[in-house]
Structure 1
Amino acid sequence: MLNKLRRFITPLAIEQRTVDLVGTQVTYTLKRTSRRRSIGLRIDNHGLTVNMPLRASEKWLHDVLQDKAHWVVKKLENWQAKKPISPQWRDGQSIFFIGEALTLRVVISLFSTPPLLQGAQLFVHVTDNANEALIEQAVTQWYQGEAKKLFNERVAHYTPLMDVAPRMVKLSSTRTQWGSCTTRGDVRLNWQLIKMPLRLMDYVVVHELAHLIEMNHSAAFWQVVEIACPDYAKRRSELKQWQISPS
């Protein structure tokens, strides 16, 4: 029995390394596995990951890295440029709400009260104006409350036009998706959509509601989207300029 189990165990060795690639010091994750027959390079928000056969030589690894050096450095620079910048939670900071810039006003108060929007300023009352985590929490809760109300309004606007009926609409906090739809009819919308212009928010709403008819991204799916959002391609392109904040 033990010998049978060993057949299903895939040896895996993982280590962190640093290499000089065209004058740039690059830290990468090296994964050795008996399942691979070649060396593969992957670059994502975690950096460079190199997957290679368990008993591959160091020379082979070195040659592959040097051969792909320019590609690796360029890709890492692109990922770094796209990486969202964490906002600073302090008085005078600019934040976005429905596509418009607001000025964050942090006010010291004995009691924490809900933020108040006045014109282009959002007043946040906290007990400690130097505590950025406290300010972030207050703003995030306000964002989520506003998002819940507006999302329900936009869904109510589009459901009769598209002849769909979601089972429920929920807020999402994922850092990888603006929205999703389950086969049960649950529509989830990322609360950070509240930061972007209404036309882009509407595109995401229409996109997810369309999945209630076509649970795929086929030509038929995009035809459904186009009925409610004729310029969806333009909005889809604009949406790519927005990023989900790491906060």
Structure 2
Amino acid sequence: MTTSVQQAIAALPVPREWLWDVVVRPRRRTLGIEVASDGGVLFAVPADADPVAVADAVRSRLPRLAREVRRRQGRPAEPVKDLIGGTSFSYLGRRHRLKVIPAGPAALSGEERRVRLYRGWLESPRAGTTGEEARRITEWYMACGNRWLSARMPSLASRIGVAPGPVGARDLGRRWGAREQDGSISVHWALMQLPPALVDLVLVHELCHLREAGHGAAFRREVQLALPGADALERWFADEEPHLWRGAVRPR
């Protein structure tokens, strides 16, 4: 099956310089296309995929896929933070400067170790390593994200007419959002750095997958109905997401 699908895609006007592959994922019901950070393309197909149907679907998406590949190939290096006083961190589109709290005799208490927003500063107690400090900050993003997402989800789900499971922020690797088999939805914690409208875009994307599994015309209609300005938001998101901090820090 994989070979026949590869042959069908190879017969399309796919640019020769592209690095692409086909993988069979038995749980999939429709074609999935994943573009890696370096511009490589992965076509994920069901076990019973029809090569002709897959080729037709890929052909219809080639212009948009080409734009995404070019964007990924030209994206900047992943941001790396210096965990020193004054370093900028964003939460829901607002920037906050880092205030490093020196370790002291009370540093073993839970309250002393807590990262928090306080009077416009992101306070982070000093830890033994920058890796530990980065972990605490990412956990803060997850905790704040879980609360914000849980409060935001009902209105978006009602707009689309779906009943999702729980929603939460976690590390999704190279993905920004995920819809699980039980209907729960996850978004990458790094998205909590973005303005709310762009977080909504990812949430709506995943919620619309509860109605349409693929990314075809029916799915696009669902997204446009839920977010009439989705095209402009997607362009904005494409500009912003390469600059999101994912937890990389410089050692002291």
* Length-normalised TM-score, structure 1: 0.64
- What residue ranges of structure 1 are gaps of 5+ in the alignment? 1-38, 49-74
> Which of 214, 219, 230 in structure 2 is aligned with 1:232?
230
| Separation (CA, whole Å) in 1 of partners of 2:75 and 2:212 | 35
**The residue matched to 1:240 in structure 2 has which SS?**
helix
Give how far 1:41 is off. Answer: 6.9
Looking at secondary structure, tell me which structure has more helix per residue.
2
Match of 1:212 in 2: 210
Give how far 1:90 is off. Answer: 1.9
Change in CA separation of 1:182 and 1:105 when aligned onto 2, cut-off 3 Å = same
Give how far 1:117 is off. Answer: 0.9
| Separation (CA, whole Å) in 1 of partners of 2:174 and 2:127 | 33
Give how far 1:137 is off. Answer: 1.8
> Which of 61, 80, 90 in structure 1 is aligned with 2:84?
90
Does 2:148 align with 1:150? yes
| Separation (CA, whole Å) in 1 of partners of 2:18 and 2:177 | 29
Contact 2:138 2:189 in 1 (8 A): no
Where do 1:146-225 residues align within 5 Å? 146-225=144-223
| Separation (CA, whole Å) in 2 of partners of 1:153 and 1:41 | 41
Does 2:124 align with 1:124? yes
| Separation (CA, whole Å) in 2 of partners of 1:178 and 1:41 | 23
**The residue matched to 1:82 in structure 2 has which SS?**
coil
Change in CA separation of 1:81 and 1:235 when aligned onto 2, cut-off 3 Å = closer
Change in CA separation of 1:163 and 1:46 when aligned onto 2, cut-off 3 Å = closer
Change in CA separation of 1:236 and 1:46 when aligned onto 2, cut-off 3 Å = closer
1:125-178 CA distances to partner (integer Å, 9 max, x unpaired)?
Answer: 2355xx322321221111110011111112122112211111232333123111
Change in CA separation of 1:87 and 1:218 when aligned onto 2, cut-off 3 Å = same
Q: Which amino acid aligns with 2:126?
A: V
| Separation (CA, whole Å) in 2 of partners of 1:41 and 1:233 | 25
Give how far 1:104 is off. Answer: 0.4
Does 2:141 align with 1:108? no
| Separation (CA, whole Å) in 2 of partners of 1:95 and 1:208 | 26
| Separation (CA, whole Å) in 2 of partners of 1:161 and 1:218 | 20
| Separation (CA, whole Å) in 2 of partners of 1:79 and 1:101 | 28
| Separation (CA, whole Å) in 2 of partners of 1:218 and 1:93 | 42
Does 2:132 align with 1:134? yes
| Separation (CA, whole Å) in 1 of partners of 2:18 and 2:192 | 36
RMSD: 2.8
User: Aligned pair count?
Assistant: 180
| Separation (CA, whole Å) in 1 of partners of 2:218 and 2:205 | 12
Contact 1:105 1:122 in 2 (8 A): yes
Q: Which amino acid aligns with 1:90?
A: I
* Length-normalised TM-score, structure 2: 0.63
Q: Runs in 1 of length 4+ with deviation above 3 angstroms?
A: 39-48, 78-81
Q: Which amino acid aligns with 2:187?
A: L
Larger CA Rg, structure 1 vs 2: 1
Where do 1:49-60 residues align within 5 Å? none
- What residue ranges of structure 2 are gaps of 5+ in the alignment? 1-15, 21-35, 41-68, 248-252
Contact 1:126 1:134 in 2 (8 A): no
Q: Which amino acid aligns with 2:113?
A: T
